[in-house]
Amino acid sequence: MKFDDFYGRKENYFSTQQSDGMQAMIEKYNVKPSKALDIGAGEGRNSIYLSKLGFNVVAVEPSIEGCNKINESAEKLNLDIDIQNKDFLSLEINEKFDFILASTSLDHMEDEYLQEAIKKIKDSLNIGGYIYIVVFTEKDPGFVRDIKNASECALFIKHYFKENELKSYFNDFEIIYYNEYMKEDTTHGKPHYHGKAKIFARKIKE
Query: How far is 45 from 35, CA to CA, in rounded Å?
Result: 17
Q: How far is the CB of 205 from ligand SAM (least distance, A)?
A: 26
| Coil, strand or helix at 156 | helix
Q: How far is the CB of 190 from ligand SAM (least distance, A)?
A: 16
Residue 189 makes CB contacts below 8 A (sequence gap 6+) with: 151, 152, 153
Q: How far is the CB of 118 from ligand SAM (least distance, A)?
A: 12
- Using CB under 6 A as the binding rule, whether residue 62 contacts ligand SAM is answered as yes
Q: How far is the CB of 199 from ligand SAM (least distance, A)?
A: 15
Among positions 70-129, residues that touch ligand SAM (CB under 6 A) are 87-88, 103-105, 108-109
First to last CA, the chain: 35
Q: How far is the CB of 204 from ligand SAM (least distance, A)?
A: 26
How many Cα neighbours within 13 Å face the side chain of 35? 12
- Burial class of residue 122, CB neighbours in 10 A (0-12, 13-18, 19+): middle
- Of the two residues 5 and 205, which places its CB atom closer to ligand SAM in the complex? 5
Q: Are 200 and 136 contacting, i.e. CB atoms less than 8 angstroms apart?
A: no
- Of the two residues 62 and 142, which places its CB atom closer to ligand SAM in the complex? 62
The footprint of ligand SAM on this chain (CB under 6 A) covers a number of residues equal to 20
- Using CB under 6 A as the binding rule, whether residue 61 contacts ligand SAM is answered as yes
- Of the two residues 45 and 198, which places its CB atom closer to ligand SAM in the complex? 45
Q: Minimal CA–CA distance to 193: which of 206, 181, 204?
A: 181
- Identify the sign of the CA torsion 121, 100, 74, 113: positive
DSSP structure string for 86-118: S-GGG---SS-EEEEEEES-GGGS-HHHHHHHH
Q: How far is the CB of 7 from ligand SAM (least distance, A)?
A: 7
Applying CB under 6 A, among 37, 42, 50, 99 the residue interacting with ligand SAM is 42
Among positions 7-26, residues that touch ligand SAM (CB under 6 A) are 14
**Residues binding ligand SAM (CB under 6 A):** 3, 14, 39-42, 45-46, 60-63, 66, 87-88, 103-105, 108-109
